[in-house]
Amino acid sequence: MNEGWERVGKLRRPGYRFVTHFFDSLRRRATSICRGKISVTLNQRSQRTIAWLVLSVSTCLPGCSGDPEADVETTTIDSAQTEITAPVDASTPEQVVSDPAVVQADMVASVAERSNVVTPSVSVVDEPTAETEPAESTSVTTSTPPTAADVSPTLDAAERLEEQLAAFTIPPTWVETVESSWDTSIPWKEARQEIRTLLGKGDESSRREGIKLTWVYLQKDDIGNGHEYGMNLFLGREPLWAIHVYREWLARTDHDYPPYFGIHALASLYSDYGLFEQAVPLLERGLQTPPPDPKWTEMRQAEMHDAFGDLYTAWGRTDDARASYREAMRLFPLAKPPYGKHLLPRRAKKVQSKLDLLSKQSLHGATLRDGQYKDTALGYSGDIKLTIDVKDGRISDIGVQHEEKIDQNACVLIPQQIVRRQSFQVDSITGATVTRDAILAGTLRALQQAGLK
């Protein structure tokens, strides 16, 4: 990066066309941000802005007042002190997810405030390892990204994210301060279960301990095929760290199994930061990546269309969301996976509930019959039994019985929000979207018994 800026300093009062040509060349070459080990490029707007800045500064420097022969003193900007980040440009060969099949779209100009964004819930599939069979499905929703007040207000959504990623240290300093009683000489096969237990407890100290243990086993190079590194960061509510890891993970070509989980997770993270267009090529990559065993084809296709429905819902593209959900519902009954086939009707039913929820976000004005209504929804670890009380035409209480292991307190928080807001528009909870979606779907069906239309 220094070499490029030294060249800028040596220019002799360049014309706009020459400067833009130079920055176009610089943009194509791309730059690497060493701290985050990610590739970024200058977009067209940044190119024009910097070009005009160079011209403006050049008119004020001695020897640049108009004399084409006057020399300009060399100016060097130390990249170690000044970091310039910018979103990926779609025309650049180096991409955030450096897979030839993934064509990154331009990043959106701005991100909505958190209170106005409905974060999507994305059904995802765990990658099989030597220790476990492929999971049927997992749903992921990212945690709340930093607010606009935390970063420069002049940057757009993509640039803000890149700025935060560049400033993020791996591992964070707090990792060294975390203590654990777990014997790290115990192999990963057993440690991974302990980590999942810690992440599922819901308290901050357990969450950090789970992340710390994940990092320790990564340094030992005893972490299976590595896919649980990013997964634990994602489930453990470390979005920036997870983005770093998934960008590198999806750039690899030596996966034991197609990285469906990583595709869904990174797409969900981008969506949570308001970068919906960045999520599209990731999910398209998932659709274009067939599973090694053809028996899983319809299942994986259905899951991707379900994920597209979630993305479009968060994006506000309701018609596209409906089309994606309907395609998922069409495919689920056609799937013939080696195991888990008995759950397909319930998964299709869950997608139907998402489709119904598109037109029933608010319960205000709804006519509900007083009484108690029950429904059972499919959660992550098993059935979630819901009991909904309706009094004076409003939801007065939601009781939940469950056996979820990693619910991040969703079984308490989500019912509370539904009752308080009298709405299905609730907050996302990292690592517990399967549970969240199950509660929403079960509540909807119970209220339909109460006369909700």
The model's pLDDT over 173-220, given as tens digits with 9 standing for 90+, comes to: 999 999 999 999 999 999 999 999 998 887 899 999 999 999 999 999
The answer to whether the beta carbons of residues 286 and 300 sit under 8 Å apart is yes
Question: What pairs with residue 398 in β-bridges?
Answer: 388
Q: Residue 364 has what pLDDT?
A: 79
Q: Which CATH architecture has domain 371-449?
A: Alpha-Beta Complex (3.90)
Cα separation, 440 vs 426, in Å, equals 9
CA atoms within 13 A on the CB side of 367: 2
Question: What pairs with residue 31 in β-bridges?
Answer: 40
Residue type, 177: T
Residue type, 165: L
- Tell me the CA distances in angstroms from 400 to 374, 414, 415, 427, one per residue in order: 10, 10, 8, 18
Strands 383-391 and 371-378: antiparallel
Question: What pairs with residue 378 in β-bridges?
Answer: 383
The answer to whether the beta carbons of residues 380 and 123 sit under 8 Å apart is no
CA atoms within 13 A on the CB side of 326: 7
Q: What is the pLDDT of residues 90-141, one digit of tens each?
A: 333 333 333 333 323 333 222 233 333 333 333 333 443 333 333 333 333 3
Going residue by residue through the chain, which has 453 residues, state the pLDDT in tens, using 9 for 90 and above. 444 444 333 433 344 444 444 444 444 444 333 334 344 444 444 444 444 454 444 444 444 433 333 333 333 323 323 232 333 333 333 333 333 333 233 332 222 333 333 333 333 334 433 333 333 333 333 344 444 344 444 468 999 999 999 999 999 999 999 999 999 999 999 999 999 999 888 789 999 999 999 999 999 999 999 999 999 999 888 999 999 999 999 999 999 899 999 999 999 999 989 999 999 999 999 999 999 999 999 999 999 999 999 999 889 999 999 999 999 999 999 999 999 898 899 889 889 988 988 887 778 778 899 999 999 988 877 889 999 999 999 999 999 988 776 676 788 888 999 999 898 888 766 556 778 888 988 999 999 999 998
What tokens appear for 314 in the block?
A: 């968060």
Domain boundaries, the chain: 1-94, 114-172+238-357, 371-449
DSSP structural state of residue 146: P
Residues 6+ apart with CB under 8 A from 187: 222
Burial 362-401 (b: 16+ CB within 10 A, else e): ebeebebeeeebebbbbbbeeebbbebbbeeeebeebebe
- Tell me the CA distances in angstroms from 27 to 22, 43, 100, one per residue in order: 9, 7, 19
Helix (H, G, I), strand (E, B) or coil at 375: strand
Cα separation, 224 vs 422, in Å, equals 44
Cα separation, 94 vs 82, in Å, equals 22
What is the number of other CB atoms lying within 10 angstroms of the CB of residue 303? 28
Helix residue ranges, H only, 61-187: 157-167
Cα separation, 156 vs 362, in Å, equals 31
DSSP structural state of residue 138: E
Name the pTM for this structure.
0.62
Residue type, 398: I
Class of domain 114-172+238-357: mainly alpha
Cα separation, 19 vs 269, in Å, equals 36
